[in-house]
Structure 1
Amino acid sequence: MIALIGSRRTSEYKGTSSEAILHQYDFLGEFYRLTLGPELVYSYAMWEDGDTLESAQIRKLDHHAQAARATGAARVLDVGCGWGSLMQRLVENHDVGHAVGLTMSPGQAAWIRQKGWPNCEILAENWFDHQPDAPYDAIIAIEAIEHFAGTTMLRRKRVASYRTFFERCHTWLRPGGRVSLQANAWNSGGWFTSLVLPPRRPAGQTANGGSRMRTALKDVRDGFDNIREGMHASRKVFPEVFLPTRGELTEAARGLFRIPEVRSDPDDGVKTVASWLERAQANRARGAELIGDDAVADIIREQRTALKFLRERRYTALRMVFEKV
């Protein structure tokens, strides 16, 4: 979710390393598969009243298929395809002729191959190195771009990395093709202000009815706590990951894509993480057998932090559509 430490960068930087991917999705993934539900969707769902986690996840997959205009398409690319739930749904429910999924996780690639879904092609490779056999009609990237810029503190380098991704997409897509993207995204001020500024309160209201001085001191302590918890998540759960801002993605796509749709859905994140956390706690003993109690504790701690940050609107579930120009 959050990364707040420096990293090495070169002109050929390709995002999160293979070692970090193995930790996040192959090692910790043994536990996540106990908590995500049968679809194995590890990204924020789209909720409506009466939803279960499973039905909300299906709604999210359908949203991106429709936003990318993928229904009935000949070829669709899923960047960061996870355990393949979107690929399967594109082919089986949206009449896509051929779905291609990219993942750097050997475990996820093996899982998808074992399923043997018709017209679903899985490639265990970095998007940076992808060379398609033919153009795509649509591209979908759900909570993948967080892996593309490493942990650099320099905004211009992050934007350059995102720009490389959008340049690739522009090359891969047919004229007028769309990218439907979902990301965990900081507020407009970026990571630091998102973490250290106090939650928004109604005018004149102080926390817990206390004095302005006590409220200010509490806000300072909370800011330091937020940074500490973010760094813990960075080291233990999401190494080499950094959240973008909407402005960074908009700037990176300029001249390549127009943006016909933008949504900010923090409550979708709240409901999804709350569901994951409940299931993680219920499966803690079995998870400890698979990956160890410390690793399970790190995941639960990260999910509690994510829930707090989403409720306080420190970051959001950002959904954007990019149309090739």
Structure 2
Amino acid sequence: MPRSKKATAYKGTSPEAIRHHYDFLGDFYKLFLGPELVYSYGMWQPGDTLESAQLRKLDHHAEAARATGAQRVLDVGCGWGSLLHRLVETHEVQHAVGITMSPGQAAWVRNQGWPHCEVRVENWFDHTPDAPYDAIIAIEAIEHFAGNAMLRSQRIARYRLFFQHCHSWLRPGGRLSLQSNAWGDRGWLASILLPAHERKSAGSNGGPPKHLSPKSVYQDIHDTVTNIREGLHASRTVFPETFLPSLSELTTAARPLFTVQQIRNDPEDGVRTLESWLERAEANRARGAELIGEKAVTDIIREQRIGLKFLREQRYTVLRMVLEKA
């Protein structure tokens, strides 16, 4: 008997890949993320620590989604529950619901015994709320929704399906606050392949490219090969079955379901967060090797270094969007 369409539909990153990244590798992440276990880029101001930058980020999304004082708020990709706890304790949310595909993360949240916080192990594709939400927040979750083998039109269709679900879950006028790692305006291929000097000068004056010496050309080729090699390594060992959207893909997918209220492009927040994570990861390398093995620790640190390089060269960015139900 054939399986139903819903049962066979593509639902993003597989449960196996999720468990590898968040449950297995997560034992090392817990050593350097800080006490709140916030696994996403913070929002930095001068004088910040990693901890204060992360709390500022959580507060930003709560306020942007107009979640303060709300009855029900959904956190899509809730991780180890830092936002759920912050919503209830600081923003007086009456009931915070988090969904994650990681059994380990869900178990950790439940063990905290936080009142008015509910966590479910499920894919957003399958989520059925008990009642409408006043606000929805999704911080660095949408990278799991479309695979790297998809065409742009297919990715947009997947993101649109997510926005359709959010639209149906929200009360009239409700908001979605979204954070994502996102490729640059030229798309993923150019973001990886273009030399750094061309990326930084793209669109600046529209003039012809400057003459490059043979040495510079060789360096550009070497950097491109390195970017491809390191990007593929990271996608195989640390972030399997994930892919970054672009701003245009997300805005196209959101129309006409949502109106865009705010867009922020904050690559420096990613730089400062990764710098802090790398320093702490190196300091905890020996303990991490005891937990998950030396190779896995090396893979994580290697992935973070290429991520830092890509952010500094503006190959991808930290995108923050606020959308309101139309």
Cα displacement string for residues 123-178 of structure 1 (whole angstroms, at most 9, x for unaligned residues) = 01000000001000000000000000122241111111101100000000000100
* Distance (Å, rounded) in 2 between the aligned partners of 1:107 and 1:11: 25
Output the CA distance in 2 between the equivalents of 1:285 and 1:217. Answer: 37
1:67 lines up with 2:54 in the alignment: no
Cα RMSD (Å): 1.5
Matched, 1:193 2:194: no
Structure 1 counterpart of 2:244:
243
- TM-score, L = length of structure 1: 0.93
Shift of residue 211, structure 1, vs aligned partner:
5.0
Question: Does residue 1:157 correspond to 2:154, yes or no?
Answer: yes
Q: 2:44 aligns with which of 30, 44, 47?
A: 47
Q: Which one is further off, 265-274 or 144-153?
A: 144-153
Report the AA paired with residue 148 of structure 1.
F
One-letter code of the match for 1:149? A
1:47 is paired with a residue whose SS is coil
Residue aligning to 2:30? 33
Q: Work out the CA distance in 2 between the residues paired with 1:211 and 1:248.
A: 33
Q: Relative CO higher for 1 or 2, CA cutoff 8 Å, sep ≥ 6?
A: 1
Does structure 2 conserve the Cα–Cα contact (< 8 Å) formed by 1:152 and 1:158?
no
* Cα offsets for 1:235-268 (capped at 9, x unmatched): 0000000000000000110110000100000000
**2: CA distance between counterparts of 1:167 and 1:227?**
34
Unaligned runs of 5+ in 2: 1-6, 205-210
Segments ≥4 residues shifted beyond 3 Å: 200-203
Alpha-carbon distance in structure 2 between the residues aligned to 1:191 and 1:18 = 25
The residue correspondences of 1:75-90 to structure 2 (distance < 5 A) are 75-90=72-87
Number of matched pairs: 311
Match of 1:206 in 2: none
Identity between Structure 1 and Structure 2 (%)? 69
> Gapped runs of 5+ residues in structure 1?
1-9, 204-209
Tell me by how many angstroms 1:11 deviates.
Answer: 7.2
SS for the counterpart of 1:156 is helix
SS of the aligned residue for 2:83 comes to: helix
CA distance 1:211–1:250, change in 2 (3 Å): closer
Work out the CA distance in 2 between the residues paired with 1:19 and 1:59: 32
Q: How far apart in 1 are the matches of 2:166 and 2:246? A: 19
1:25 partner amino acid: Y
1:274 alignment partner AA: E
Contact 1:128 1:165 in 2 (8 A): yes
Q: Distance in 1 between matches of 2:188 and 2:232?
A: 12
Structure 2 residue identity aligned to 1:99: A
